[in-house]
Chain A
């Protein structure tokens, strides 16, 4: 093949390949979306989660359920949701520890710790992706792999994510991690596969004290809307204008 023939071929080859790929993509996409998304209109929903700090007993069951439901790596430093224990001392010192990184035996051993009379307040705070209305992680993704769905959930497309970790740095809530199996960014999805079927997220399903309330902020009759009405609500780092959809009731000012 000489140069002339090659160039002639290329003129037809590249556009033709493009057309074929486009046809292939749209055919596959249509077939999939027809079967999986039938009867679900994301524009009718705007999901959020309520967390009542005063109800959390720190049992860690939500963390375990999340790991099972979403195949989160077992190692105790990969979390889509986790529980922090705050101990606020009289001199203003704040001790924060993640109880989810402990083994069940270590968590039981916490019960034998002697009482520290200098602690003036102590409580557990469940943490998760805040599913911000204005997510910084989406802004910084260089390849558009992380995005917000029409129902307000921030997802990561593991097929286009290049694992640059920029979103992990950008998240003010530390809610993202690099999945060691896929080598891509991973985070809470509000159990998107469950909520679109009308089920509750796994953490909400197992929470024994109803410290977590899942709901649809677009709905007129919803537990989360009622939760907003009945409680004084705070969000984490409101000064960043991320407009989180994780709404905390009875949130202490020391929680960061």
Chain B
């Protein structure tokens, strides 16, 4: 049987099409067509990467004593490798002196977290690195695994740095914190369980700022406390630590 010329040409086209389809779907490997096998291989490579930080539960297996001391103190949330650096090499070979995690004893290391910075959260213990026992190593008074103030902080600025510094440049700079806050003795050692008081009534401010007051220090800022500012408490508008407001 002789096929017509047009059928032969059609046959060639269909044949070419089949070759392309078979090559694409059956002969070429998936890695030539799709990114998926490459991505799967990447996940495997990623999971096989070496670990440098062993994790504090690994440290605990040998250093239980330090771990327990830390767990009972203010540094309980800090992982061992925060200060001592990555320890996986030390875990793998504890006799390797080169891999022994360092013990930081220099003052600057502690000040990296505990030096005063206005952006640090309120209540986070901070010291003024220029004023607080300058030149002395922190570890000579404070045990890093169970840090305690060597004595109760003498002033509130030890933890409430931003407030202390703001107040110091304000018209309230001469007022001691205890004028407005009663501080329980235990607040210095167990701060969150024994909170200081805060003023609750307008009378606390009216003592100095009412027109009836005779305190010379507040002479420029006197109002009639009965009518001034509707029923709001004074500190709802005036920031007591910077009463003249931001400049």
Contact = CB atoms under 8 A, between A and B. Distances in A.
A-B complex: 4 closest residue pairs judged by Cβ atoms: A144-B35, A22-B29, A90-B246, A157-B42
Contacts of A119: 118, 246
Nearest to A89: B246
Interface string A123-153: 1100000000000000000011101010000
A119 B112 CA distance: 22
Interface string B200-236: 0000000000000000000000000000000000000
B77 interface: yes
A87 interface: yes
A199 interface: yes
Interface in B13-42: 23, 27-32, 34-35, 37-42
Interface stretch (B45-53, B61-69, B186-194): B45-53
A18 B123 CA distance: 66
A21 B33 CA distance: 13
Contact of A18 (B32, B37, B48): B32
Contact of A147 (B35, B51, B78, B166): B35
Nearest to A197: B51
Interface stretch (B79-87, B92-100, B134-142): B79-87
Given A155-B43, A193-B47, A205-B55, 6 more contacts: A69-B52, A69-B86, A117-B247, A157-B38, A207-B79, A208-B75
Contacts of B32: 18, 21
A230 to B, nearest CB: 16
Nearest to A203: B53
Nearest to A83: B119
A159 B47 contact: no
Nearest to B34: A144
A65 B41 contact: no
Contacts of A207: 79, 82
Contacts of A32: 41, 44-45, 48
Contacts of A118: 246-247
Contacts of A149: 43
Contact of A111 (B27, B117, B169): B117
Contacts of A69: 51-53, 86
Which of the four size classes fits the interface of chain B? 35 or more
Contacts of B245: 90
Contacts of B53: 65, 68-69, 194, 199, 202, 205-206
Contacts of B113: 57, 59, 61, 208
A209 B77 contact: yes
A57 B121 contact: yes
Contacts of B119: 58, 85-87, 122-124
B120 A57 contact: yes
Contacts of B75: 208
B165 A22 contact: no
B39 A147 contact: yes
Given A193-B46, A200-B55, A160 B118 contact: no
A43 interface: no
Contacts of B120: 57-58, 124
Contact of A25 (B27, B31, B48, B82): B31
A55 interface: yes
A145 B35 CA distance: 7
Contacts of B158: none
Interface stretch (A102-110, A170-178, A216-224, A234-242): A102-110
A159 B23 contact: no
B38 A160 contact: yes
Contacts of B81: 65, 205-206
